Amino acid sequence: MFEFISHYRAELICALLLVVMGLNFLSVLPRKNLTLDETIHIPAGFYNLHGNLAINIEHPPLVKMLSALPLLFTHTQAAAVDPQREYSDYQIAQNFWRANDAHYEALTFWPRVPMIAIALLLGALIFFCARRLFGPRTALLAAALYALEPTVLAHGRVVQTDIASALAYLLLSFALYFYLQAPNFRYALYVGLSAGLALSTKFSMVALAPFAIVPLLGLFIFAPRLGQKRGLVAAQLAIATVALIMIVNAGYFFHHPKQRYTLSFYDSGSSATTHQPLPELAGQAFMAVQHIIPADFIHGMVRVVVLDQARSPAGLLGMYSKGGWWYYFPVAFGLKTTIPFLLLSVVSIVWALWILFRKRDERVLVLLVPIFSFAALAMMASTNIGIRHLLPVYPFLFILGGAFLDHLLSYRRQRVMMAGILAVVLAWMGIEAIRAYPDYLTYMNEFASRAPHWYYLSDSNVEWGDDVKGLAAYLHERGEDTVSEAIWGFEILEKYGIRKADAPSNPDEAMTRYVAVGASFLNGSVNPSRNPNDYAAYRELKPEKIIGGSIYVYRIRP
């Protein structure tokens, strides 16, 4: 028994960390209602499980269906969808929640449990990958960093695609690494399976195709120089391609609807080149690929990658923009990451570059290349709505940070000092995790202490609609059942016994005692009128209470 514990000590400690992390997630669920996106994803997942795959088509169904699996064992009801009618995602979600109003709370709990399982699986994968590269001590340190980071604790319980895509991206990166190190059919199969999983979690992952295609193409071209047979490499890549196609099809139950989308469906109105040979050939190819890949998958990807040009307004450091900023994600990372992990990430990247170029340690390539590839892609994007879109980078930073801390502990002469540095990093992160509980979604570090959080960032960074339950409880404690509001998640106020009215731009015109204004409405990024100053008057008022860091409650009348 003791020999077993000694031999698997790192694994057991990692398991304990993940158990505590899971309990943390579960303890938050009753305290937070669903985020805005979850109110759409959960009904969509339920309908997807029952074969209607065209709902909420801009997100692949896999993660949504996983979240909805527990609902199959409940008395969940769903209104029939007329295939001859067109419904918005909002209409379908609204009908779903109305049909299940009697057990609304249960439906906000169980769909998030599979998401917690995915988050814990990602923690285990981080441990496995770190151990494979650097050993058990690095693996344990990486798992500890993962379990303590507020950004992970914020999103690990939410029904969304970002944690799942982070897991798939990590799998794909290491599958590629192992395959390129020793090309064989088994590793090629892993590459195909993980690539298919990545595409099945988030459509935007297709933008990372060059990340996989370039090294694989290089291996094929230079196979003889690398001691490989080109024909054998081609066969391995064919296996990977088939595996990818099978996984994508499995995510759609191998369903191929009779309806096929044509390129003209996405025509913006210009037909100047419609009858040219190239567009005609492209149209034929576009139709043909839908016999191999589900049409709903193709349609969803085209909508996200090609057609989704409507830029989301965003706020950053007191500024407002519809086009975003290239430096948005570095700033968001600098504000929403704990300071010790922020510094550790920067230092560990510099250290990794040093050992790569000075010591020719190529192990760090499997960490650096995915970090820089995804970060570059994120910085080129014009959609700046949350640090969550950078989450696929985090696992690599945890492993790299663990490796650097492990490296520090290898200095025997300064071992006490290095152990002290490690203790400070973990203790500081632990304190931040406790300080932020349970409001991890709105967490910001000490660099964001000079102004309200709505000044620094917007959207899901500061408000995602999951504090409506807390607002209702606060109002009930004061004998109130009505509020003027400009918040995300206002639709569910009535489920918690609160009537609502629209918050006026001028606080003096409010007809209720309390006015609740969300952080993203204060900075103006989500105002329906697209005027960022609709609620500017409230910025000068001192809120009586800030609920969860996201809803600012003002007492207007005595």
Model confidence over 119-171: pLDDT tens digits?
999 999 999 999 999 999 999 999 999 999 999 999 999 999 999 999 999 99
Q: Are residues 420 and 513 in the same domain?
A: no
Beta strand pairing call for 499-502 and 545-547:
unpaired
Residue 14, burial from CB neighbour count under 10 angstroms (0-12, 13-18, 19+): buried
Instruction: Pick the more confident residue, 462 or 264.
Output: 462
Q: What is the pLDDT of residues 38-50, one digit of tens each?
A: 999 999 999 999 9
Return the minimum-mean-pLDDT range out of 83-87, 146-150, 456-460, 511-515. Answer: 83-87
Q: How many domains does the chain have?
A: 2
Domain boundary among 419, 448, 477: 448
Mean pLDDT across 272-287:
59
- pLDDT score for 202: 94
- Residue ranges in 303-393 assigned as alpha helix (H): 328-336, 339-358, 365-380
132 located within any domain: no
- pLDDT score for 144: 98
CA distance 266 to 268: 6
Q: Which two tokens stand for residue 349?
A: 């990247």
Per-residue pLDDT at 273 exceeds 60: no
266 located within any domain: no
What letter does residue 313 receive in the DSSP assignment? Answer: P
Question: What is the overall mean pLDDT for the chain?
Answer: 90
- pLDDT score for 311: 64
Q: Are residues 412 and 477 in the same domain?
A: no
- pLDDT score for 403: 97
Per-residue pLDDT at 270 exceeds 50: no
131 located within any domain: no
C-alpha triplet 49, 54, 58: angle, nearest 5°: 105
Q: Are residues 472 and 362 in the same domain?
A: no
Q: Which two tokens stand for residue 291?
A: 């016999």
Q: Which two tokens stand for residue 60?
A: 């692949």
Q: Are residues 389 and 479 in the same domain?
A: no
Instruction: Pick the more confident residue, 309 or 78.
Output: 78
- pLDDT score for 527: 79
Q: How confident is the model at residue 526 (pLDDT cuts 50, 70, 90)?
A: confident
Q: Are residues 337 and 415 in the same domain?
A: yes
193 located within any domain: no
Domain boundary among 448, 483, 505: 448
Per-residue pLDDT at 347 exceeds 70: yes
CA distance 24 to 135: 27
Per-residue pLDDT at 277 exceeds 70: no
Per-residue pLDDT at 279 exceeds 70: no
408 located within any domain: yes
Number of alpha helices (DSSP H) and beta strands (DSSP E) in the chain: 24, 7
Q: What is the pLDDT of residues 359-374, one digit of tens each?
A: 889 999 999 999 999 9
Q: How confident is the model at residue 469 (pLDDT cuts 50, 70, 90)?
A: very high
Element (H, E) at 315: strand 314-316
Percent of the chain with pLDDT over 90: 72
This prediction's pTM: 0.93
Domain of 543?
467-555
- pLDDT score for 265: 60
Return the minimum-mean-pLDDT range out of 80-94, 126-140, 297-311. Answer: 297-311
Q: What is the pLDDT of residues 189-245, one digit of tens each?
A: 999 999 999 999 999 898 889 999 999 999 999 999 988 999 999 999 999 999 999
Q: Are residues 479 and 426 in the same domain?
A: no
DSSP string, 183-251: --HHHHHHHHHHHHHHHHH-GGGGGGHHHHHHHHHHHHHTTTTTT--HHHHHHHHHHHHHHHHHHHHHT
C-alpha triplet 128, 379, 331: angle, nearest 5°: 85
Q: Are residues 444 and 471 in the same domain?
A: no
Return the minimum-mean-pLDDT range out of 3-7, 81-85, 158-162, 291-295. Answer: 3-7
Q: Are residues 337 and 413 in the same domain?
A: yes
C-alpha triplet 154, 155, 161: angle, nearest 5°: 170
